[in-house]
Amino acid sequence: MFEELKLSQITPSIAQELIIKFGHTHSLETTKNITTTIKSSLKDAYVDGYIERDVFGRLKAVSSKKQTSIQNYLDAQEFERLQDYLYSIIENADRFHLLVLIAIETGARYGELLALTRSDFDLIKQEVSITKSYSSGAKMVTKPKNKSSIRVIPISSRLTKTMITYFDKSNELNLFYYWSNQTVQNNLRRILKSANVHQIRFHGLRHSHVSYLLHNGVDIDYISKRVGHSNIGITLSVYSHMLKEKEQTQRELALNILDNIRE
């Protein structure tokens, strides 16, 4: 985007125009990712003295490309297919497969997953502690998104056994490393195709976790704490469409119960 420009030639207006131009042919999500990278690079240049003023602070991601509407979460049957597929191959799979498995089993954010280390798992208590997050912009481990993001997530017996096996084979402290956005989507696409489920983005694994718990009657207040939302209002807002589906199911259940009342 900036191939023919020197750092000294970049102004806020020029940078914003280039982002807008990029957004004409790329989705908002992709444009946000590239904007984050640009802002981070320009900030480093400012701190290191290569540019004399802040030309990055007010840059915004803008996209005019129409979004293709997809259901960015798996339904209950797809969730179970993906889960079963991952467990069936996990002993011989690479780290990315493990990343996806932990994602759907915990609902943790991508940055939280990348920051996980061996010491974050208590396999006796069957839980994992979320205390930090990897920032792709800063390219370093930082504090989590908010105070509520610091949490302990109970994990299933199957995942516990998987982690015991993994740690027996590996002596590395860190579980994962940073993948580019394109590599993440390419790897995820192959896994979802192999599991015979529809394509979603990586963040959709978190949505799938919530959707599956809602489908199985788990209380929304517990789900909110489990995924690290600062209050239940955020959970209700983000997952309102799923809750409407759940409400319809509960409506039918209530009527069936009432219809069976005997005088």
* Cα dihedral sign, 142-53-37-17: positive
Tell me the average pLDDT of the chain.
86
pLDDT tens-digit series, residues 138-182:
788 988 878 889 999 999 999 999 999 999 998 888 888 888 888
* pLDDT value at 67 more than 60: no
Listing DSSP states for 70-93 in one string gives: ---S--HHHHHHHHHHHHHHGGGS
Q: How confident is the model at residue 262, as a pLDDT?
A: 56
Going from N- to C-terminal start, the domains of the chain cover 1-69, 76-248
pLDDT higher at 22 or 68: 22
Q: Does CATH number 2.40.50.140 belong to domain 76-248?
A: no
Shared fold status for 1-69 and 76-248: no
CATH homologous superfamily of 1-69: Tyrosine recombinase, N-terminal domain (1.10.150.130)
